[in-house]
Amino acid sequence: MTPKAFIKLFAPPVLVQGYRLLRGRQANSVYGLSGDYGSWNEAVRASTGYDSPVILEKTKTALLQVKNGQAAYERDSVVYAEIQYSWPLLAGLLWVAAQSCGRLNVLDFGGSLGSTYFQNRAFLRRLTAVRWNIIEQPRHIETGRGWFEDEALKFYLCIEDCVAETQPNVVLLNGVLQYLERPYDILCGLLELPCDHVIIDRTPFWDGPTDRLCVQHVPPSIYPASYPSWILSMRQLRSHLHDGWEVVAEFDSLDKLEGPVDVAYRGMILTKRNCCSHFLRERNNQ
């Protein structure tokens, strides 16, 4: 009998379970969120960055499988046999469409090659009209226009180009705020658009008073990469919502990552206060 087997034989089960849990955390600690960087440039120097052709090519290959019916769902360049829905996000999109006679016009900021669009297209097809506009990096736009763009799915280099052609009725920030150098500048700019609704999802938050800047390390089984990522303070985000906006709902997101502080991936549905007041009156009258 080996020493390991001998100890296992006599150790209480709770200690064995605790040891296994600790080993699992140690094995996974190299991946996820780590660090407390003083500046964005410092975090950039400690990571490989987002703009990698490897990430883009793997995402394109995965989403082409989804588009062509060879896979059900793609998330972070990984394909799945079954769609993992964010039901609160989908409910928010359909709620927006219900207020616009079944029409949905999404400004998907940082929407990759259409991951969220393809995730929810079975439900979106039942709407009166759908237009899904993605704002992304130049390489993504080139790939998106060449491989994925159609009558419903459009790609733009900037917000200004998008709103010059169409008027979205909802802004989507799905797993993107944490990867922006100045997330609140982008958020506040989007809140100034002539659009009544904003949906945030897949965003890491903690209970601290300030945002924390980390580096996210991706497991090589997905793709070899690391990039800066904020763990946002919920208090800080709320402080950037001016009086014209209201939080209609908050919800848990699908993502789970270990971090240097207690991290919870969350989402929320925001609406302009006049729209929210109308919604609350209707709900109270039911």
Contacts with 144 (C-beta within 8 Å, 6 or more apart), sequence order: 113, 114, 134, 136, 153, 155
> What percent of the chain is modeled with pLDDT above 70?
86
Confidence class for position 59, pLDDT limits 50, 70, 90: very high
Confidence class for position 14, pLDDT limits 50, 70, 90: very low
Confidence class for position 185, pLDDT limits 50, 70, 90: very high
Q: CA 162 → CA 147, 156, 159, 189, 277, distances in Å?
A: 19, 6, 5, 14, 29
Q: What is the structure's pLDDT at 27?
A: 36
* Token reading at 181: 């150098």
> How does DSSP assign 168-219, residue by residue?
-SEEEEES-GGGSSSHHHHHHHHHTSS-SEEEEEEEEEESSSS-EEEEEEEP
Confidence class for position 1, pLDDT limits 50, 70, 90: low
Q: What is the structure's pLDDT at 24?
A: 38
* pTM for the structure as a whole: 0.86
Q: What is the structure's pLDDT at 286?
A: 52
Q: How far apart are CA 227 and CA 249, in angstroms?
A: 30
**206-251 confidence digits (pLDDT tens):** 999 999 999 999 999 899 899 999 999 999 999 999 889 999 999 9
Question: Would you say residue 109 has pLDDT above 80?
Answer: yes
Give the lowest-confidence range in 79-88, 162-171, 200-209, 277-286.
277-286
Q: Give the chain's domains with CATH numbers.
A: 33-285 (3.40.50.150)
**117-158 confidence digits (pLDDT tens):** 999 999 999 999 999 999 999 999 999 999 999 999 999 999
CA nearest to 119, candidates 157, 67, 156: 67
What does DSSP assign to residue 165? H
CA nearest to 184, candidates 216, 232, 250, 247: 232
Contacts with 227 (C-beta within 8 Å, 6 or more apart), sequence order: 47, 48, 49, 50, 179, 215, 216
Confidence class for position 257, pLDDT limits 50, 70, 90: very high
Cβ density class 140-155: b for 16+ within 10 Å, e for less: bbebbeeebbeebbbb
Give the lowest-confidence range in 9-13, 39-43, 114-118, 145-149.
9-13
Mean residue pLDDT of the chain comes to 89
